[in-house]
Chains A and B, each alone.
Chain A
Amino acid sequence: MADMRVNIAGVEFKNPVITASGTFGYGREYEHFFPLSKLGGISTKGTTAEKRNGNLAPRIAETPSGILNSVGLQNPGIDKFIKVELPNLKSKDTVIIANIAGFSIEEYAKICEKLDGTNVDMIEINISCPNVKHGGAAFGTSCQSAAEVTKAVRASTKKPIIIKLSPNVTDITEIARAVEAEGADAVSLINTLLGMRIDINSRRPILKNNVGGLSGAAVFPVALRMVWQTANAVKIPVIGMGGISTWEDGIEMMLAGASAIQVGAALFKNPFAAVEIIDGMNDYLDRKGIKSVNEIVKKVQPW
């Protein structure tokens, strides 16, 4: 047994595999398949200040080796999360990361203040939401607004903060540096890539929202490249995700520079994907005689 433990911003994970926000709800559904304690951590469904219904259906479309989604952050709101879901999650013996989203800087700060008084382990800040006050461009697409969100959440909680970066930018490393400078404890990437599909008979987009976020195996090489670039640009830990479906993908992602990884869309086909990835990575380390998973982080040898 290799040592699978990793430490991110002072929080110890029993292994580096975390289930990705929005694909794992608040853990209740997948618990029918395996004990949640097997996971390194859980990043919860993106939660906002007030409850939200999200967008109209259809909110999913299949693509070659991927999926598009346009859920639109359906969630019960932060108060219900804290009252009902968090106590349940915290009894599961795994790291709980509250993924949150806001449509204004004040909303992000307010949610973090509420979480500060709870026993949640970490907060992951999704900055892919549109900034309603400033024309709707996502907070995560400019260094300035990403930095402003980071500054505001940093001031409102002592919990470790992970800023989740959007790949829909020209240079993700600039954004990563900007949030690092404002006190982010870690960054996670990538969120989904904006995409679209059209039904050729009805001439209608398949998603009722017209566009949606691409994830799944199709995005893996893009995610890997962005994680590698980001890991070379910042000193804080990078949590890598985007299309990880097998243990080999997990190893690749850590070699590229991820200190931990998240698994999302792959769960839809194989609900055991995350636990199989943990086992497969552990076997790989044993076969290679590597004692700790930390030894492979950023160990790619670029040409």
Chain B
Amino acid sequence: MKYMQGKYPIIASTTLAREIYDFTVCCPKIARAAEPGQFVTIAADGFPLRRPVSLCGIDKENGTIRLVFEVRGKGTKEISRLREGDMIDIIAPLGRGFRLKDYKTAILVGGGIGTPPMVPLAKIYGENCVAISGFRSAANVILQEDFKASGAKTVLCTDDGTMGRKGFVTAALREEIEIKKPDVIFACGPSPMIKGVVDIANEYGIPSQISLEERMGCGIGACLVCACRTVRNGEEFYAHVCQDGPVFESKDVIF
């Protein structure tokens, strides 16, 4: 599918937690083409590079997409100043999303700001998935209502136990697999978490797909900066997160 660049109206904006923003953008063509796991790049006034943000919602009927992002630096701070009614400059939809194939049941694992791309998957799988998410502390927890509304079994973990169960998502993942082994595991989050999830998936022989992050340039596969070590045709190949990813089959990724 072709990606496009344009300025689109923000029709709703809220704050989900400290420094975590939630924009709904009206862009019907993009919404129609977008798939779970894909991302957009947002231009930040005064900064030479766009900021990649994964899709937290795709509403094809209403022609909107939902972008949930964290302020990490000056560029995302600048973007966070946009409000309802403002125009946002995006290129979308970008990258390869999750491959749902004929997987009937799934476990979704999201860590911190890796949680938003799990929401569209929960919408699709509904009762046929378990959505596990992990955050540092109660103050960082986001998107739990969205998972519940989708019908997914929703498991919340915090590192310090201030909300949900105390501990890492990997412990919860193991328990859920023991209860019912899913056809596939989808994960997004900090790299130690991803590594932990993939190890468990491999242990149980469950295929897994992971959404990766890397510093990007063009965002469309031309400048080749966002390299990710993979195996392709039996050889080591530096794939590109923006074009070959952000979602990879974890069996192809060299950790």
**Contact (A269, B223) CB under 8 Å given A58-B214, A62-B49:** no
Asked if residues B215 and A58 are in contact (CB atoms below 8 Å), the reply is yes
Measured CB to CB, the nearest residue on chain A to B225 is: A60
Asked if residues B223 and A23 are in contact (CB atoms below 8 Å), the reply is yes
Is A32 close to B, CB under 8 A?
yes
- A23, A60, A272, most chain B CB atoms within 10 A: A60
- Complex CA gap A59/B217 in Å reads 9
- Complex CA gap A182/B42 in Å reads 47
Is A265 close to B, CB under 8 A?
yes
Measured CB to CB, the nearest residue on chain B to A266 is: B48
Is B62 close to A, CB under 8 A?
no
Is B236 close to A, CB under 8 A?
yes
- Complex CA gap A32/B218 in Å reads 13
Describe B's contact surface by its main secondary structure. loop
Is B155 close to A, CB under 8 A?
no
Asked if residues A62 and B48 are in contact (CB atoms below 8 Å), the reply is yes
Nearest CB of chain B from residue A39's CB, rounded to whole Å: 14
B218-232 contact mask (Cβ, 8 Å, vs A): 1 or 0: 111111111111000
Nearest CB of chain B from residue A181's CB, rounded to whole Å: 34
- Complex CA gap A62/B44 in Å reads 12
- Complex CA gap A20/B4 in Å reads 21
Nearest CB of chain A from residue B224's CB, rounded to whole Å: 5
Q: Which of A257-297 contact B (CB under 8 A)?
A: 265, 267-272
Asked if residues A269 and B48 are in contact (CB atoms below 8 Å), the reply is yes
- Complex CA gap A269/B142 in Å reads 30
Asked if residues B225 and A69 are in contact (CB atoms below 8 Å), the reply is yes
**Contact (A216, B48) CB under 8 Å given A32-B3, A62-B75, A271-B91:** yes
- Complex CA gap A1/B212 in Å reads 47
- Complex CA gap A33/B91 in Å reads 10
Asked if residues A29 and B225 are in contact (CB atoms below 8 Å), the reply is no
Measured CB to CB, the nearest residue on chain B to A67 is: B48
- Complex CA gap A269/B228 in Å reads 22
Q: Which of A222-260 contact B (CB under 8 A)?
A: none
Asked if residues A57 and B221 are in contact (CB atoms below 8 Å), the reply is no
Is A66 close to B, CB under 8 A?
yes
Measured CB to CB, the nearest residue on chain A to B239 is: A53
Cross-interface CB contact of B237 among A53, A59, A66, cutoff 8 Å: A53
Measured CB to CB, the nearest residue on chain A to B229 is: A56
**Contact (A25, B227) CB under 8 Å given A65-B48, A217-B48, A268-B48:** no
Cross-interface CB contact of A54 among B47, B214, B221, B224, cutoff 8 Å: B224
For B224, the chain A residues whose CB sits under 8 A away are 22, 25, 45, 54, 59, 71, 74
Nearest CB of chain B from residue A201's CB, rounded to whole Å: 12
- Complex CA gap A265/B226 in Å reads 15
Is A24 close to B, CB under 8 A?
yes
Measured CB to CB, the nearest residue on chain B to A22 is: B223
B28-52 contact mask (Cβ, 8 Å, vs A): 1 or 0: 0000000000000001000111100
Q: Which of B177-232 contact A (CB under 8 A)?
A: 214-229
- Complex CA gap A69/B217 in Å reads 9
For A57, the chain B residues whose CB sits under 8 A away are 214-215, 225-228, 238
Asked if residues A268 and B3 are in contact (CB atoms below 8 Å), the reply is no
Is A6 close to B, CB under 8 A?
no
Beyond A60-B217, A268-B217, list 10 extra A-B contacts (CB 8 Å).
A23-B217, A29-B221, A60-B223, A60-B225, A65-B48, A67-B49, A268-B223, A269-B49, A271-B5, A271-B218
Show 5 A/B contacts (Cβ-Cβ < 8 Å), sorted by A: A22-B223, A54-B227, A57-B226, A57-B227, A60-B225
Chain B residues proximal to chain A, CB less than 8 Å: 2-5, 43, 47-50, 75, 91, 214-229, 236-238, 243
